[in-house]
Amino acid sequence: MTSPKLLVLDLDGTTLTADRKLAEQDVLAARRLADAGVRVTIATGRIFPGTKWVADALGVEGPVAVMNGCELLDARTGERVFGAYVHPTSHGAIRRVLYEHGLSPFLFESRTIHYGGTDDHHAPYLGVWSEQLSRHLDVWDGAPWGSSDEVVAVSAAGPVERVDDALRALEGVLGEDLHTVRFQTFTGHGFLELRRREDKGTAIERIAAWHGCTVDEVVAVGDWVNDLPMLERAGRSFAVAHAHPRAVEAADEVLTEDSRDGGAVAQVAARVWGV
């Protein structure tokens, strides 16, 4: 690859420690990289409010990618660089399917997550994306369904079998530009996420172009399956020690550091740039 100019970091499970903090050694490494003329930025599944404090601590300048590339926002000002949203005309059909399957819905806007008052038990899980949560007595009527053009994702939680049934039902109402992801919450509930067909691979292409470089000049670090597109497209990529097997396979190298105590940024800075 050509001389790397840009380091792109996943957050949860990669850059942040097990208790979702930033290790001092990684903050110092980011400063050394800046002094060496290397840009540092972020590509995360979080929304912007849950990302900004990390960007500030790492001294990020320019765009960060949030919600897996559906938005690129200026790290300092929050100004939109790129946005791909769930169109308001799709909200009604999605809302109907989630309601019919008895799921708990969550509307992910650019700056807040809307949820219902009967779903407080899901709030700690939603806090992974952001602490900016908007609680409604009735989320079906209180959230901005069909009236917001900044919905980056529509999600829902419930028993696994209901989530699977809802996903099958949604196949008949979603357009080709919407993507569904299924996983599980801390408590074992099924969780689905609907968003536009963007990913961290398209995100690093846009971020690299913004900085005047190419993806061949990007170094990416991640740990999970949502990191695969950027690990595969970056000029050089790393998976942390505990990464998902598919991330390990996609990455060029595997770090000895995992996210329990941090250190991934410091190790990559030393390996790639010698700082």
Residue 257, pLDDT above cutoff 80: no
Same domain as 208, residue 262: yes
Amino acid, single-letter form, for residue 262: G
> Which distant-in-sequence residues (6+ apart) come within 8 Å of 212 by Cβ?
none
Mean local confidence (pLDDT), 239-267: 92
Number of domains in the chain: 2
In three-state secondary structure terms, 232 is: helix
Same domain as 169, residue 78: no
Mean local confidence (pLDDT), 99-108: 98
Task: Dump strand ranges (E) for the chain.
Answer: 6-9, 39-42, 63-66, 71-74, 80-83, 104-109, 113-116, 133-136, 151-158, 178-184, 190-196, 218-222, 236-239, 253-254
Q: Which of 265, 270, 272 is nearest to 235 (CA)?
A: 272
Q: Which of 126, 129, 47 is nearest to 80 (CA)?
A: 47
Give the pLDDT confidence score for residue 132 in this predicted structure: 97
Give the pLDDT confidence score for residue 258 in this predicted structure: 72
Cross-strand partners of 22: 16
Render pLDDT for 159-207 as a digit per residue (tens, 0 to 9).
999 999 999 999 878 877 898 999 999 889 999 999 999 999 999 999 9
Render pLDDT for 118-172 as a digit per residue (tens, 0 to 9).
999 999 999 999 999 999 999 999 999 999 999 999 999 999 999 999 999 998 7
Residue 113 domain boundaries: 88-196
Same domain as 143, residue 79: no
CA–CA distance, 180 with 197 (Å, rounded to integer): 9
Decide: 201 and 233 in contact? Cβ < 8 Å.
yes
Give the pLDDT confidence score for residue 2 in this predicted structure: 64
Same domain as 204, residue 77: yes
Q: Read off the DSSP letter of residue 254.
A: E
Q: Which of 151, 178, 196 is where one domain is finished?
A: 196
**Residue 260: band (very low, low, confident or very high) from pLDDT cuts 50, 70, 90:** confident
Q: Which phi and psi (to 5°) does residue 193 adopt?
A: -135, 130
CA–CA distance, 183 with 190 (Å, rounded to integer): 6
Decide: 250 and 239 in contact? Cβ < 8 Å.
yes
Render pLDDT for 9-42 as a digit per residue (tens, 0 to 9).
999 999 999 999 999 999 999 999 999 999 999 9
**Residue 63: band (very low, low, confident or very high) from pLDDT cuts 50, 70, 90:** very high
Decide: 65 and 54 in contact? Cβ < 8 Å.
no
Render pLDDT for 64-97 as a digit per residue (tens, 0 to 9).
999 999 999 999 999 999 999 999 999 999 999 9
Same domain as 73, residue 20: yes
Q: Which residue has the higher pLDDT, 258 or 96?
A: 96
**Residue 261: band (very low, low, confident or very high) from pLDDT cuts 50, 70, 90:** confident
Q: Which of 150, 178, 196 is where one domain is finished?
A: 196
Same domain as 64, residue 129: no
Please give the mean pLDDT across all residues of the chain. Answer: 95
Whole-number percent of the chain with pLDDT over 90 = 91
Give the pLDDT confidence score for residue 171 in this predicted structure: 86
Structural domain contains residue 115: yes
Q: Which of 196, 222, 242 is where one domain is finished?
A: 196
